[in-house]
Chain A
Amino acid sequence: DAMVIQNPRYQVTQFGKPVTLSCSQTLNHNVMYWYQQKSSQAPKLLFHYYDKDFNNEADTPDNFQSRRPNTSFCFLDIRSPGLGDAAMYLCATSRDPAGGLGEQFFGPGTRLTVL
């Protein structure tokens, strides 16, 4: 089945130790998104890639970076995780949203713990 896969599902890192979260998709969608979701809150968009074009949200900290080496894969790099970065990180994909329906398909998420 076509899907959005995130690895690992659970990640533990130490304060200040860089960490990379991975997302892959078999849907061949143009757009890939990274969201941060803290407990009992709505998902907050960090950035998205439209094909190779990177779009950062204005309030996303510089500590968060992303790479998209090809259509299928997208990575979230947290350069120096702080305790406040502990959250669920959700990856999502969509076809060209400018065409109308911006339906997004979500992965299961990676829960990040910072010690």
Chain B
Amino acid sequence: GEDVEQSLFLSVREGDSSVINCTYTDSSSTYLYWYKQEPGAGLQLLTYIFSNMDMKQDQRLTVLLNKKDKHLSLRIADTQTGDSAIYFCAESKRRAGNMLTFGGGTRLMVKP
């Protein structure tokens, strides 16, 4: 199977919370990242978490890492229409020179 997997699509209403999930296979991951890609644009780093952390919060964003299950999630509180985009999780491994391995991306649609 793929190294990093995500569900393809998520739809939420404006003001609700969004939770985007990601699973990975390699327990030697060093850092895990969430990138956002708006239509026709490059990728923008939203947040990252070091592999020895369980949680990281940054304003409306909360990242949870379950190392036992190799599961990463991104929670967006009070989701806005401007949050509509594709969200990629990615991992880096020190033994691979910290190159990024991306998941397939989750398209978040926020309905007004």
Contacts and interface: CB of A to CB of B under 8 A. Distances in A.
Interface of A: 4, 6, 40-43, 45, 48, 90, 92, 97-98, 100-109, 111
Interface residues of B, number: 22
Given A40-B105, A42-B103, A43-B102, A103 B97 contact: no
Given A100-B98, A101-B31, A102-B99, A41 B42 contact: no
A104 B31 contact: no
Contacts of A42: 88, 102-105
Contacts, number: 60
A104 B98 CA distance: 10
A58 to B, nearest CB: 12
A104 B100 contact: yes
A98 B100 contact: no
13 contacts: A6-B42, A40-B104, A45-B99, A45-B100, A48-B99, A97-B97, A98-B98, A100-B30, A101-B31, A102-B98, A104-B45, A105-B45, A108-B40
